[in-house]
Amino acid sequence: MPIQETEKSFNHKEIEKKIQDFWKKNNIYDEVNLLRGDGPKYSFLDGPPYCSGNIHLGTAWNKVIKDTHLRYKSMEGFNVRRQAGWDMHGLPIEHKVEELLNLKNKQEIEEKIGIDNFVNQCKDFACKHKNSMTEQFKSLGVWMDWKNPYMTLDPQYMESSWWTMQKAHEKDLLVNDLRVISWCPHCETALAAAEIDYEDKEDPSIYVKFPLKGEFLTNNSLKEYFLVWTTTPWTLPANLAISVNPDFKYSFVKKDDEILILASNLLETVLGPQIKIHKSKILNDNGEEEILEEKEELYEIVETVNGEKLLNLEYDYPLIHEIPKHTDFNQKFTNVHKILPGGHVELGEGTGLVHTAPGHGPDDFEMGKKYDLPIFSPVDESGVYTSEVGKYENKFVKSVNDLIIDDLKNKDLMYKHELINHRYGVCWRCKTPIIYLATKQWFLKVTEIKKEMLNQVSKVNWVPKWAGSGRFHDWVDNAKDWTISRQRYWGIPIPIWECSNCDNIDVIGSLSELKEKSLSKIDASDYELIHRPYVDSIEIECTCGSKMNRVPDVLDVWMDSGVAPWASLYYPQEKESFDEWYPYDFITEGHDQTRGWFYSQLGSGVISLDEAPYKKVLMHGFVLDEQGKKMSKSLGNVVSPEEVIEKYGADILRFYLLWANKPWEDIKFVWDELNNVKKMFNILWNVYVFSTTYMSLDNFNPDNCNENNIVLRDEDRWIISKANTLLRDVGDALNRLYFHDATRKINQFILEDLSRWYVRLIRGRTWVESDDPDKLGAYYSLYSALISLINALSPISPHITEEIYENLVKNVSNNFNQSIHMNNWEFSEEDINPELEEKMDYLRNIIDSVARARDSAKYKLRWPVSDITIVSQDSRILDAVNDLEDIIKDQSNTKNVLTAYEFEKLSFIAKPNLKTLGPRLKGDMGLVKNYLAKADGNLIKNELDDTGKFTIGLEGKLIELSNEDILFDTELPDDMTSAEFDGGNVFVNTKITPEILSEAMSRELIRRVQDMRKDMDLDVEANIHVIIKANNEFTNLVSSKEEIIINEIRANSIALTNEEICNSNFNDNDYYIKNWKIEEYELSIFIKR
């Protein structure tokens, strides 16, 4: 089958559907993998998207990057592992299900519908979304192993995470510890740092007076108070001390008959200016107005001491009557209700005296441990006060803020009560403000392996470099121990069994181990067994003889995905594929994953296998809206991938995402820019249509081309060189992950090299009938350039390239792959000719400037000129002109091309330089001026160039002029126009000779006939009969060119006449008739098929 003529416009919807059906029907993805099965391995690990709903542009970009790189790698010959992954456990899904089932809290989950049911609902939810998201990714043309993805709810996968926990235990990196951690009172679970979002939020900001017990100042009898600032009044019931920085200065300030103690540096911030100036106008003795200033001292600094002096002072706990427990504390612990030294105290905000509640803040907790304060955290899992806080019992902590504020006001212990707007941590999913509680949790001791983690970070190849050396390094460097236990249901159960009798724990590493150790017979499936609630019921025996029960927690979901490197390969249950694919050559995710997946894999990797599981990481950016703001539902600026695919198609979206910016920077999503990309695709399609139009007409088959039947011109060798350079450069860019370089080079090639230049150069040759070797040379080169182009573009935009491949290759060649994506990434180093490419660059500049010159003289390109002269001092440019003279002749429509280092026909006009001569010559100035105006500038210039001076004899005086004294204007001869280009000038001879006029008129005529052919909607190859009616002058001008005209307009016959047409065979209705005016000539053209 020959090459087929193509649809005139690019219909992305139709093509993409057709191609995706083709892939599906013929299992092309599997075929490609089969083809590369013996190739060298390239292992890639997909960062698992969370199955909570729809994909967005960010996830689309993520997958497009992966797909493009991996398609390239496959074409390079690699056997690529590209299993898709899904993150399916965790709180976000629990929340969605809670919402769906209208459940308010954990109690309702456990009692209303039961854990069993709840977990099943979560599973259904996750699977449903996994499926719909898979379809969305497929619609982008993303090729991954969608049939066998890794899923974090898969029992075999989960076993691998148990194995990692066991490894951690073996290395003594697993601890159960009482610590203050961030807690979500809605989800009733611990949260890791990675699960906290920050939002602006309004909170109370109160300054509380803590009465000093006894007195510090001896010289007065006023009551003294420590002034303490807090934004969380609800933590005051757990206040056990006040921290000060011993190095700071603290002042005792007298105000309103009491003494306040606070940091000296913060006096003005907290208390306001010390002095108020009252101004009043009075009349003085002279009757003039005068301003009288009176100073009022608003407070008085009575004493200033070092913080050290305050240490160990005691205060009366303000809520002692409300909370009796504090009396106990005060009696049992020496440091309770005292001033203690704390390095964490700063002067940025507050008063320099810090409320310290060891149960409600990590720093406070450290203080508590250091000074032997009780870790008092009288709040339960749902954020409700326990009975330990007397009056406030059974109330949700945040709701007590106002009550406490009132109580303090009633005791006159509130100095100031305001509101503050600040960033506050909230639960990443339910957005409930977090609270800090002291609880026992399980931790991985990351701080102990941090050094090795940093060592591993430095071994990884990061793109860009700073992602690893800066951002990720800093994050790991600051890492705290990782809280991995969650008091939830839908997740990987923590495989730790605790003895009810002794302290012993057992960490189970696999299902078989559990089955072996279980005291009861297990009849559940692996899936059931490894999930809650079934696994909760399994008891095993302790070495002490007692029963061990599982810790009821589940694992942090970040641990789920963190073990993906080996869990997706079911290691250590299965070892073979692990040996084949681990560690991974490449991963890529957005920069938010610094704290997420990059980190969780590194941590669990060092624990399990003593190394980072990835060798190369691309950290990519985010997709922002047009203004550069984050896309969010609340701002209403979210653009969905479906919307873009609907309007522009997946290929254009893919190209755009890889084109808009560097992959590691953020993309501003601008609709208008998609139009740009669309335009490029239209032009590509146009070139394709142009090619198929002629190639199908001539039944062109590239397989039949050989040295004997085709001739290649310079421009043919040039486009072939360019196309091979393109393949080389794009391949290099895709390999280095510089996708923007690849797309920009392709864009340049399509627009500049192929469409605007090469097609323009060969237009005339395609119009030739018969199997002319010169025409076939153009076809062959155009074909070859197109094939290189679609190969280079295929990893980026896989549909349109497949479509073109179907027609241009599969329809004609005997030797083809079933899909373009099975092709090898091949180019010919031999065909790359940098010298020729450089010469063509010069040529384009020159030809553009000829067009400019003609334009400025209003001399149409359609009219030939007898000669143009290229002037340059650069011999490379002149060589290029001489070598590629024919192209200039053709494109500039000139009979001759001349070259020169200097343009001799240029005449010079000498002018006096008034600046130098004026002062010197004074009155003689006029004489010189007149002389120069009449003189031959060229002679003067020659003289100056030769001798450096020019002497004039005037009225008996000799005046010597030097180079600076004379300025030259240049003047073009008549019938000459010029323009500059980068490296020289062109001079165009516009003199019209009879021969030129004859040609010009012929071409004008041809243009009109072509225009009419198009009006008539004739086929390109259709022949016509033409009659031209014009005056004798015109017919004389064109008659000598009759043969050329006939050929150009595909006429069977042409008749030139100056008379009315009135013979009997003539019928007006047979003809399409149009009247024209060309310059001063009026004519009528008659055309019939």
Partner RNA sequence: AGGCUAGUGGCACAGCUUGGUUAGCGCGCACGGCUGAUAACCGUGAGGUCCUGGGUUCGAAUCCCAGCUAGCCUACCA
Please report, as residue ranges, which positions from 327 to 386 form the binding site for RNA (by CB under 7 A).
344-346, 348-350, 354-357, 361-364
Minimum CB distance to RNA smaller for 81 or for 854: 854
Residues in contact with RNA, shown as a per-residue x/- string from 228 to 247 under the rule CB under 7 A: -xxxx--x------------
Q: Which helix (H) or strand (E) holds 94?
A: helix 91-101
Q: Considering the complex, state which of residue 626 and residue 964 has its C-beta at the smaller distance from RNA.
A: 626
Q: Structure tokens of 54?
A: 């729809």
What would the two tokens of residue 347 be?
Answer: 């002067």
Angle of the 1032-1039 helix axis to the 994-1015 helix axis, nearest 10: 90
Residues 473-492 that bind RNA (CB under 7 A): 474-475, 478, 480
Rounded to the nearest whole angstrom, what is the least distance from the CB of residue 598 to RNA in the complex? 10
Q: Are 315 and 225 in contact (CB under 8 A)?
A: no
Q: Rounded to whole angstroms, what are the CA distances from 900 to 213, 876, 893, 991?
A: 102, 12, 19, 20
Tokens of 3: 């090459």
Residues 6+ apart with CB under 8 A from 145: 82, 83, 84
Distance CA 805, CA 818 (A): 10
- The least distance separating RNA from the CB of residue 1007, rounded to whole angstroms, comes to 4
* Identity of the residue, 14 or 170, whose beta carbon is nearer to RNA in the bound complex: 14
Question: Would you tell me the crossing angle of helices 798-805 and 650-657 to the nearest 10 degrees?
Answer: 120
Of residues 849 through 878, those in contact with RNA by CB under 7 A are 851-852, 855, 860-862
The distance of closest approach from Cβ of residue 864 to RNA in the complex, given in angstroms and rounded to an integer, is: 13
Using CB under 7 A as the binding rule, the residues of this chain from 643 to 662 that contact RNA are 660-662
Closest approach of RNA to the CB of residue 605, in Å? 19
Shortest spacing between CB 474 and RNA, in angstroms: 4
Nearest to 142 by CA among 37, 44, 39, 9: 44
- 471 lines the binding site for RNA (CB under 7 A): yes
Torsion of CA 995, 1000, 1006, 1008, to 10 degrees: -140
Kindly state whether residue 624 participates in binding RNA, applying the rule CB under 7 A. yes
Q: Which is nearer to RNA, 255 or 744 (CB)?
A: 744
Q: Which of residues 503-562 bind RNA (CB under 7 A)?
A: none
Would you say 677 or 897 has its CB closer to RNA?
A: 677
Instruction: Tell me how crowded residue 243 is: count the other CB atoms within 10 A of its CB.
Output: 22
| Footprint on residues 953-1012 left by RNA (CB under 7 A) | 1007, 1010-1011
The closest of 224, 301, 310 to 267, measured between CA atoms, is 301
Contacts to RNA from residues 149-178, by CB under 7 A: none
Compute the least distance from the CB of residue 186 to RNA, in Å.
19
Name which position in 848, 890, 975, 1042 contacts RNA (CB under 7 A): 848
Give bridge partners of residue 629 from the DSSP assignment: none
Does 13 contact RNA by CB under 7 A?
no
Nearer Cβ to RNA (362/533): 362
Query: What is the closest distance, in whole angstroms, from the C-beta atom of residue 64 to RNA in the complex?
Result: 17
Contact (Cβ atoms closer than 8 angstroms) between residue 639 and residue 669: yes
Tally of CB atoms within 10 A around 873: 10
From the CB of 888, what's the least distance to RNA, in Å?
15
Q: How far is the CB of 479 from RNA (least distance, A)?
A: 9
Choose between 20 and 801: whose C-beta lies nearer to RNA.
801
Q: Which residue lies nearer to RNA by CB, 581 or 681?
A: 681
Smallest distance from RNA to CB 422, Å: 5
The set of residues, in sequence order, having a beta carbon less than 8 Å from that of 695 and lying 6+ positions away, is 2, 3, 779, 783
Question: 763 or 957, CB closer to RNA?
Answer: 763
Local structure of residue 16 (DSSP, 8 states): H
Backbone angles phi, psi at 1054, to 5 degrees: -140, 135
Q: Tell me the two tokens of residue 142.
A: 């993303």
* Site map (CB under 7 A) of RNA, residues 1009-1048, x = contact: -xx-xx-x-xxx-x--------------------------
Cβ proximity to RNA: between 719 and 944 the closer is: 719
For residue 211, the minimal CB distance to RNA (Å) is 18
What burial class does residue 316 get, using C-beta atoms within 10 Å of its C-beta: 0-12 exposed, 13-18 middle, 19+ buried? middle
User: What is the C-alpha separation between 933 and 1004, in angstroms, rounded?
Assistant: 43
Residues 444 and 484: beta-carbon distance below 8 Å:
yes
Q: Which of 321, 629, 736, 1089 binds RNA (CB under 7 A)?
A: 629
Kindly report the backbone phi and psi dihedral angles of residue 98, in degrees, each rounded to the nearest multiple of 5, phi listed first. Answer: -55, -45
Site for RNA, residues 575 to 594, rule: CB under 7 A: 591-592, 594
Residues 30-59 that bind RNA (CB under 7 A): none
Binder of RNA out of 14, 177, 402, 626 (CB under 7 A): 626
**Contact with RNA (CB under 7 A): which of 112, 309, 517, 668?**
668
Strand partners, 414: 208
Cα gap 154→1088, rounded to integer Å: 75
604: left (phi over 0), alpha (psi -120 to 50) or beta: alpha
> What's the closest the beta carbon of residue 823 comes to RNA, in angstroms?
24
Footprint on residues 872-911 left by RNA (CB under 7 A) = none
Nearer to RNA, 16 or 203 (CB): 203
Q: 322 or 481, CB closer to RNA?
A: 481
CA 126 to CA 504: how far, in whole Å?
A: 36
In whole angstroms, what is the distance from residue 1049 CA to residue 1026 CA? 9
**Which C-beta is closer to RNA: that of 529 or that of 804?**
804
What gap in Å lies between CA 159 and CA 165, rounded to an integer? 10
Give whichever of 852 and 1041 is closer to RNA, judged by the CB atom. Answer: 852
In the bound complex, what is the minimum distance in angstroms from residue 522's beta carbon to RNA?
39
* Cis peptide leading into residue 464 (ω within 30°): yes
Tell me the number of residues near RNA by CB under 7 A. Answer: 95
Give start and end residues of each alpha helix (H) in 857-993: 875-883, 885-892, 914-921, 925-934, 937-947
Which 757-816 residues touch RNA, going by CB under 7 A?
A: 759-760, 763, 766-767
Out of 40, 628, 918, 973, which residue is the one contacting RNA (CB under 7 A)? Answer: 628
Least distance to RNA from the beta carbon of 840, Å? 15
3 state SS of 70: helix
C-beta closer to RNA: residue 229 or 1034: 229
Strand ranges across the sheet with 1024-1030: 1051-1057, 1024-1030, 1081-1088, 1072-1078
Give the range of 108-116, 555-563, 609-617, 668-676 binding RNA by CB under 7 A.
668-676
Give the nearer residue to RNA in terms of CB position, either 1003 or 1029.
1003
| Residue placing its CB nearer to RNA in the complex, 206 or 917 | 206
Q: What residues from 421 to 440 belong to the interface with RNA (CB under 7 A)?
A: 422-425
User: Helix count (H) and strand count (E) of the chain?
Assistant: 37, 42
Burial status of residue 222 (CB atoms within 10 A of its CB: 0-12, 13-18, 19 or more): middle
Q: In angstroms, what is the minimal distance from the CB of 538 to RNA?
A: 35
* Shortest Å, Cβ 631 to RNA: 9
Q: What's the closest the beta carbon of residue 667 comes to RNA, in angstroms? A: 6
List the structure tokens of 565. 């490197």
Write the CA distances from 783 to 548, 694, 720, 809, integer angstroms.
Answer: 74, 11, 10, 10
Considering only residues 180-199, where is the footprint of RNA by CB under 7 A?
193-194, 196, 198
Tell me which residues in 680-709 interact with RNA (CB under 7 A): 682-683, 686-687, 689-690, 693
Give the residue among 87, 166, 51, 181 at the shortest CA–CA distance from 487. Answer: 181
Sites for RNA among residues 720-759 (CB under 7 A): 740, 751, 755-756, 759
Shortest Å, Cβ 32 to RNA: 31
